């Protein structure tokens, strides 16, 4: 499993993106933040609610310097078929990565081997390609994409603010902390 501070592996895979199927290499996105949304499978019940929410918030992720990508063990052709037939998924404009060999899910530690699908997991990757946040849970529980966006904002703040950290439920404009000192104030 890729934990905090670990560099993501060199990954090249097919993706459905911008009405086309093409190869994507994650290292091409170095210098940007990445938000990877692992999910079990296309044509399911919880997954379209999450990916639709991510699609509706994508511009906010981009404003934070991040690219959103989803990943399942389906092929890029299945992603396209889902995109073409689902009202919720038709809103997705970010790359939908294919992992039919299950190598990506296995390297991130999201694979459920006996089912051949991924657990529901979210990874925030910094511009250097290192994991700064991740969460994983049972596939029956949907994510809060707005909370992932909040974590991205906090991760960016900490990276860009010398020695400051973010307290619980921190949002931009709220008080921050400096270890060893009291509340610093709004920044």
Of the candidates 79, 26, 60, the residue with the CA atom closest to the CA atom of residue 148: 60
Angstrom distance (rounded) from CA 121 to CA 136: 4
Angstrom distance (rounded) from CA 142 to CA 47: 8
Question: Catalytic one among 24, 35, 47, 69?
Answer: 47
Contact 178, 187 (CB under 8 A): no
Active site residue 166: no
Angstrom distance (rounded) from CA 34 to CA 167: 23
Tokens of 1: 């499993």
Q: Which residues are catalytic?
A: 47
């Amino acid at each position: 499993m890729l934990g905090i501070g670990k560099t993501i592996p060199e990954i090249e895979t097919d993706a459905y993106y911008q009405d086309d199927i093409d190869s994507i290499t994650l290292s091409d996105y170095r210098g940007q933040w990445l938000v990877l949304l692992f999910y079990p499978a296309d044509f399911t019940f919880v997954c379209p609610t999450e990916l639709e929410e991510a699609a509706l918030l994508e511009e906010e992720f981009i404003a934070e310097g991040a690219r959103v990508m989803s990943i399942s063990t389906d092929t890029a052709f299945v992603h396209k078929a889902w995109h073409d037939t689902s009202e919720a998924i038709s809103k997705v404009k970010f790359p939908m990565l294919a992992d039919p060999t299950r190598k990506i899910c296995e390297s991130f530690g999201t694979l459920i081997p006996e089912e051949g699908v991924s657990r529901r997991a979210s990874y925030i990757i910094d511009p250097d390609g290192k994991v700064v946040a991740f969460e994983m849970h049972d596939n029956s529980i949907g994510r809060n994409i707005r909370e992932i966006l909040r974590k991205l904002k906090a991760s960016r703040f900490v990276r860009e603010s010398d020695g400051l950290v973010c307290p619980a439920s921190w949002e931009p404009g709220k008080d921050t902390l400096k270890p060893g000192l009291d509340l610093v104030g709004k920044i």
